Amino acid sequence: MRLNDSEMKVTSTKNPPSRRYFLKKLLSAAVGLWFWHRAINPSSALEWRLDDAGKDAHQKPPSGTGFIFHKDYLQHRLTQGHLESPKRLKTIMDRMKVSGLGKQVRPIRPLGNPLSAIHRIHSRAHVRLVMKTAREPSICFLAVAGALTAVDFVCRNQLRNAFCAIRPPGHHAANSGLRGFCFFNNIAIAARYAQSKYRLRKILIVDWDYHHGNGTEWAFYDNPSILYFSTHCLQAFPHTGFPERRGEGPGYGYNINVPLLKGAKDRDILNAFDRELLPAAERFKPELVLISAGFDSRKNDPIGNFAVTDDGFARLTALTKSIADQYAGSRIISILEGGYNPEGSAMAVERHVAELLG
């Protein structure tokens, strides 16, 4: 089944306060109430308080792999029969259980209201559009909260790395409408959050999704503190990601697009990482590595047209880990993006998470 482009679209005031001021306060309060009702469950044994999570951060080296998940991610739906369906995550969770990996990772629930972090990337108009358009806007906010929770645990040295089993995906989200099944740009928001809260100067974002992360490129196109590296298919939605797009102004050279031909196999994507990413990372020396982990570049995906195997994803993970080990204190946060063959994606995620644990 193939989808066409149309199917991929989804200030201070003086007294007296203005109507805009009250709307801003109302928006913040509404999101806060959503998270109190939908995301917070104090009785859960998996829910840790982030203020406590970092108390011993400087007393022991980070270890372990976090697995961020919330059952409400399974409630997010687009249209009947849509490929971006709850089955994607359900199959991943089943695979984690059957493989035994679920007992090796550290399960973590997303915490907190992400609205202030969202505003570092998205306009208030975009936030209002999400609240108006999404069937369950709270789950869109919850996805962002999952990514930010991973940042907190990893950047406080409570975990070495983390995988965020979240949806909806995010790397197409900008401020130009809802496209590519995305609502908020989870990974861009996480990068900004890490920079702001943990004073990180340089962050690497690696994107191996079949589709170009045009929203992530947009967010950091003139920013030399974020190195964005993407392998993708130019002929696929959103038809962006040309190699000539290198960034602009002070960000020139920090946006690296490496289009691959249809049918690209393990050797093709691994060669791109060896040839382009490794030298760039050596020059950049990131303090944190984020992965837009899209598994629609896997073989037999109904939308993608690459042929990357599960072993290929394990090797991509190992290569990215080598960068994090050398420059970023092993800190990696991987965030689920695409992947629309549920069984195939789940097997790829299994190899990916196993490599993060290794």
**What are the CA-CA distances from residue 264 to residues 267, 276, 300, 305, 317 (Å)?**
8, 16, 12, 8, 17
Catalytic positions, written as ranges: 172
Answer for the pair 266, 224: CB distance below 8 angstroms, yes or no: no
Phi, psi of 290 (to 5 degrees): -115, 145
Phi, psi of 334 (to 5 degrees): -105, 130
For the chain, the first-to-last Cα distance in angstroms comes to: 36
H or E stretch covering 152: helix 137-155
For residue 127 the two structure tokens come to: 């936030």
Instruction: Give the separation between CA 98 and CA 296, rounded to whole angstroms.
Output: 22
Answer for the pair 230, 257: CB distance below 8 angstroms, yes or no: yes
Rounded (10°) CA dihedral 182, 142, 158, 164: -40
Answer for the pair 186, 170: CB distance below 8 angstroms, yes or no: yes
Measured from the Cβ of residue 279, the count of other Cβ atoms closer than 10 Å reads 10
DSSP strands (E only) in the chain:
65-68, 106-108, 161-164, 203-207, 226-232, 255-259, 288-293, 332-336
Instruction: Give the separation between CA 171 and CA 352, rounded to whole angstroms.
Output: 19
Measured from the Cβ of residue 39, the count of other Cβ atoms closer than 10 Å reads 23
Nearest to 153 by CA among 33, 54, 247: 54
Position 286, amino acid:
P
Nearest to 276 by CA among 255, 249, 298: 255
Nearest to 276 by CA among 260, 256, 261: 256
